[in-house]
Structure 1
Amino acid sequence: MNRALRRGAPIALATSAALLLAGCAGGATPEASGTPTPDAAACMDVPSGDLSDSVKVDGEFSKAPTAEFTTPLEADELQRTIVTEGDGETTESGQKINAVVTTFSGESGDQLFSQPATITAGDDTLYQAFLAGVDCVPVGSRTVTVAPASTLYGDTGNESVGIKAGETVVIVVDVVEVQQPLKPADWTENVPEVKWGAEGEAPTVTLPKTDPSPDLQLKVLEEGDGATVGEGDSVTVQYQGISWDTGEIFDQSYTRGEPATFSTDQVIQGFGAALVGQKVGTKLIVTIPPEYAYGTEKSDQNALGGQTLVFLIEIVDTAPAGQ
């Protein structure tokens, strides 16, 4: 999924929200504010239709659902059907919506990916096909959007998730909640041991032989004195990611020879929350339970689902969104 991000955040950090960005299929990302436009304040005009009504969705809310429909499914226009109407407040432009986004190939009916994502309603950097799933619907709703290729990846497709050129995509979105600010608790017990390597060498993190905390927790190992990271900032970091469940490193920037740069709102929620409010130069370690990482369910498309993740992070630089 790294090719789908605005600034190339690594696959181990990216959520499916990264795939929602307009222009993320390999072309240049459009110059956009990343915030709702005045026109976006009104509800989108996305009617239901025979195709979206025909999709049968099953499965527990906020989990990876199944979908059945006649294949190949080919659409000429965007259609959205509210499969289950929630009883929460209706979503509004500018709100950050925690959702579970699941996509299916219109050609084969196969699931392409299913992951938690945070979608800002009315964000003009996102494809309308994804925005439609959370637009002006009650929290607790499950929606089905049938998206023709012209509203998504067009004649390019998206190789990273198996969407072919010109393919229609079925998108199921569970609108879980309006996101509240997430702040990690202080990590004071069972903190891993960290040994820093020589310049150019990766550090070593030794996890304690205990069960992971069910909470998002952070420990500052060395406080920096640079600029403070703000929400939505473009941040440059060195990092190492370890699964508490397996003890294995699943990804890191240290071995790639250069740090990674990405927006704090285009990575897994717990990782972004660990960065916001910290200063450039800070070294920290954070433990992230599944609900703030890749969700509680593991699948062939979501190998890190259900796992508690630990990240060692060095903040190298930060810049306001759009710079």
Structure 2
Amino acid sequence: MPESKKRVSLRKLPAIVVAVGVLASLSGCSAVPFAFGGCTPTFADGSNAKLVEAHGHFDADPRAQFPTPLVAKTTEAHVAVSGHGKIVEAGNTADVRVTVYDGKTGDSYAQASLLLATSGSNAPGYAKLAQCAPVHSRVTGVGPAIDLLGADALRGLPLREKDTLVVVVDIDQTYLGKANGADQLAQPGFPAVALAPSGQPGLTFPGTPAPTEAKTAVLKQGGGETIEKGDQVVAHYSTFVWEQKSLGSSSWPAGRPTVFNAISAVESPNGVPPELANALIGQRVGSQLMVILPPKETGAPAGTTYVMVIDILGIK
């Protein structure tokens, strides 16, 4: 079958958009990882990834073209355009725009802007493509769907594990992967924190009633930029319920940090509870906080005291 080079207009498949939001070359040539500043990426630089041409505007439709059908047994990456910003170090968070194509037909599947962890068991393959490249780079990746999306994302999608996908990643910014500040002395009356290697916290609650007033403790003191009122704060969080001594929600399992607006919801419809805003403003990037929010601060039902552990990763 003759090869063709094809690009079609963006055709989004809703299921794959959801997957991305969660979400050895056949040539026989040897491939080695590209490296910047001593950082070694997950995927090797390879000939299949170099076949992808993407000349569209940065942080927009990359207008990728490549020979079809493009088939790969393993995942490769290539820095098609090298930026001049900070290196996305292993373990960092990356703010990226991801576009996914069908390697067989060249059709565009999905496009999304995401904050993603770039390493660890929860990081999807398409996020790992950003690892070790400079900010403002465009990276192309080619590989099996199982490598680039992961088993969980593939469930329910019209894709097989071995189907080849082509991914174009534009790297807008990089942030910390977890709080890296200096440990602070524990404060009495607060739950005790234990951290997994990834940085995800677990809590041990004291045998006392939940506080009736908002409280904040600095668990790690960072040395980065200082948060000002109105800043968009990139953060990992876990929210526990004191009375149930259980985890309610967390950004860690999906490997997707969130953004808090450091302003009170009283002042802005996009703000956060006033005491959470007060806790964030004045803190520095790299810090880890514990914020206790009684029901009167959040509007939660009586007997629902939230305990948030927040890693401040950066400011957008």
TM normalised by structure 1 equals: 0.48
Larger Rg: 2
Identify the structure with the greater strand proportion.
Answer: 2
TM-score (norm 2): 0.49
